[in-house]
Amino acid sequence: MATKVTYTGTMKGGFRGMTATGKRATWTESHFVRIKNGQVTEHWGDIDRLGMLRQLGLAPAAPTAAATR
């Protein structure tokens, strides 16, 4: 089974040593689950944490094409 979800939230409190920014972010997650005999036997997930942190101002922006030349 595969799912893709989109989350949106505002950072109103500190988390893992990061101070709240009050900024809003939207990010996606993809999840893949293997089910055997009605039970989840494996799970893989991919979360765009870097995109979320950039939107919150907690990670540097991606370099522009001109900056990479």
Which residue segment(s) compose the domain that 64 sits in?
Answer: 2-68
Q: Would you state the pLDDT for residue 43?
A: 97
Which CATH number characterizes residue 7's domain? 3.10.450.50
Instruction: List beta partners, residue 40.
Output: 35
Instruction: List beta partners, residue 13.
Output: none
Q: Would you state the pLDDT for residue 53?
A: 95
Q: Would you state the pLDDT for residue 67?
A: 66
**Average predicted confidence (pLDDT) for the chain:** 93
What is the per-residue pLDDT across 40-57, written as a single tens digit (0 to 9) for each?
999 999 999 999 999 999
Under a CB-based contact definition with an 8 Å cutoff, are residues 1 and 45 in contact?
no
Q: Which whole number is the average pLDDT over 10-23? A: 94
How many domains is the chain partitioned into structurally?
1
Q: What single DSSP character describes residue 17? A: T
Q: Is 29 exposed, middle or buried (0-12, 13-18, 19+ CB in 10 A)?
A: middle
